[in-house]
Structure 1
Amino acid sequence: MTRINIGLTEEQRSGVMNLLNQNLADSYVLVVKTKKYHWDVVGPQFRTLHELWDEQYEELSENIDELAERIRTLGGYPTGTMEGFLSLATLKEHSGEIPTATGMVTQLVEDHEQIIRNLRSHVDRCSEEFHDQVSADFLTDLMQKHEETAWMLRSFIEGKALEPDRQKPTETRTLVGV
């Protein structure tokens, strides 16, 4: 094998690859849960959630591929077995459960938020501890995708009535330069 000389030591690359493999494992657990909920959802929200989770499943699959490719770029091999994923993942399976549609959404929100917290830590470590700004940027972009997905899912279950804008039509804001 040709020695990799990209300005990172083997120890730095190894540290980053360990973080990336944890993200890969969490992504695999999440993609399995998302697909399972896509199949199992019932009720008045069926069509909406079924289609939403199909889109999210596809995006997660792309993220998984990009994580694996980043690991290969750094000279490593991505985890590729369910046993490996489950041993590295911070997310937990919910075997034997079929929650309500709202329960499914709630669990997925919690999972995306866990991944976001992990990514936030991993971004800092990639940058500060391992000096790999490319991986830090990659994980930042991934975190943004999870934040958007979590927001969409949270919006589905918030269920609070929206308050009308309390500003009276006669009250206007002064625009600078007008």
Structure 2
Amino acid sequence: MRPINIGLTQEQRQGVINLLNQDLADAYLLLVKTKKYHWDVVGPQFRSLHQLWEEHYEKLTLNIDALAERVRALGGYPIGSMEGFLKVATLKEHAGDVPTATGMVSNLVEDHEQVIRNFRDHVDRSAEEFHDQGTSDFLTGLMEQHEEMAWMLRSFIEGQAIDSDGRQSVAQAKTPVGV
């Protein structure tokens, strides 16, 4: 087999592959949670959440394929088993837990925010530690998608009054939390 000659050493490529496989594992866990919540959500917000989560799991599915293909482009092999995903993922399962609709949204916000923090670290490490600006750029694009998904989910549970200039309403700001 001809060695890969793309301006990165085997060690640099392997470092990036390890980061990508962690991102792939987190993406799979997030996909499974999103699908499960899509199936199990009930209540007055059923339709809107059901549709939102369908949009999200479709994006996640595309991102999973892109992550795996990036691993292959660098000469590695993507993790391909749930056992493998669970070993390297930073996200945790909530097996057996079926929260309320708001609890589901909150769990997904936390997971997306963890993924975003991981991407920020992986973007920097890809560029600075492994000198792979291509992967850094690729991960930046994925991070931006997760930022949008997290924002949509946060918006669902925030529900604060906002003035026309974008600031929180003065009356709302003075109301104690939980009142």
- Return the TM-score normalized by structure 2: 0.91
- Residue number in structure 1 paired with 2:127: 127
Q: Distance in 2 between matches of 1:126 and 1:60?
A: 21
RMSD of equivalent CA atoms: 1.0
Identity %: 73
- Residue number in structure 1 paired with 2:114: 114
Residue 59 of structure 1, CA deviation: 0.2
Q: Distance in 1 between matches of 2:88 and 2:46?
A: 32
- Residue number in structure 2 paired with 1:147: 147
Residue 164 of structure 1, CA deviation: 4.7
- Residue number in structure 1 paired with 2:177: none
- Residue number in structure 1 paired with 2:175: none
Q: SS state of the match for residue 33, structure 1?
A: helix
Q: Distance in 2 between matches of 1:63 and 1:77?
A: 16
Residue 5 of structure 1, CA deviation: 0.4
Q: SS state of the match for residue 6, structure 2?
A: coil
Unpaired stretches in structure 2, ≥5 consecutive residues: 168-179
- Residue number in structure 1 paired with 2:35: 35
- Residue number in structure 2 paired with 1:76: 76
Q: Distance in 1 between matches of 2:161 and 2:84?
A: 44
Residue 2 of structure 1, CA deviation: 1.8
Aligned residues: 166
Residue 159 of structure 1, CA deviation: 1.8
Q: Distance in 1 between matches of 2:22 and 2:134?
A: 17
Q: Distance in 1 between matches of 2:162 and 2:148?
A: 20
Residues 1:58 and 2:58 are matched in the alignment: yes
Q: Deviations over 1:101-140 (max 9, x none)?
A: 0000000000000000000000000000000000000000
Runs of at least 4 residues of structure 1 off by over 4 A? none
Residue identity in the other structure for 1:37: Y
Residue identity in the other structure for 1:138: F
Residue 13 of structure 1, CA deviation: 0.1
- Residue number in structure 2 paired with 1:105: 105
Q: Distance in 1 between matches of 2:136 and 2:162?
A: 37
Residue identity in the other structure for 2:85: F
Residue 61 of structure 1, CA deviation: 0.2
- Return the TM-score normalized by structure 1: 0.91
Q: Map 1:137-176; keep pairs closer than 5 Å.
A: 137-165=137-165
Unpaired stretches in structure 1, ≥5 consecutive residues: 167-178
